[in-house]
Amino acid sequence: MTKKEALPLRFFLGLFAFAALVIQLVVVPRVGANYASAYPDVAYLEPLYVTAVMVALVGLLVALFAAWHVVSGALAARGVPYRPAGWANIMTASLIFLVLIFAGVFVHAGSVANVGGPAMLLGVLVCVALVPVAFALRRWLINRFTSDSLYAPRGN
């Protein structure tokens, strides 16, 4: 991998991490407070849900950090055998952690707290669908950034 290829990837990973951090520290608490004031009958759930979403976003930040290391390792390898499986596994585990936390929030909100209605079921279904996506992303990262495939000629 060349610096010309790695620079945009690192830029967008850093941009996504910054956006996730802003969402985690600014947007989520404000949205939680707004919903708690709009729906006082379930306002007691606000700290629980805000904390859960903030913890889930830590999983996203860890996944982005692992992806950063995959790109950095591929850049530093330059002909030396490089196997990104360790960082790809960390990224996959973090993404699955994120999905499980969100699924738990959706299940709790929809079935225990009885708020949200059908949207909570849709959220659970999306979370279930994202688990195979995390494994597919892991496989793609390993195939794309393994040093053997970095220097192989690419077809049209």
Write out pLDDT tens, residues 87-143. Answer: 999 999 999 999 999 999 999 999 988 888 899 999 999 999 999 999 999 998 888
Helix segments in the chain, DSSP class H: 3-22, 28-38, 46-77, 85-107, 118-145, 147-150
The token pair at 69 is 């290391």
pTM of the model: 0.84
Q: Using one digit for the tens of pLDDT, what is the confidence trace for 3-38?
A: 787 889 889 999 999 999 999 999 999 999 998 998
- Contacts by 123-129, CB closer than 8 A, 24 or more apart: 127/99, 127/100, 127/102, 127/103, 128/103
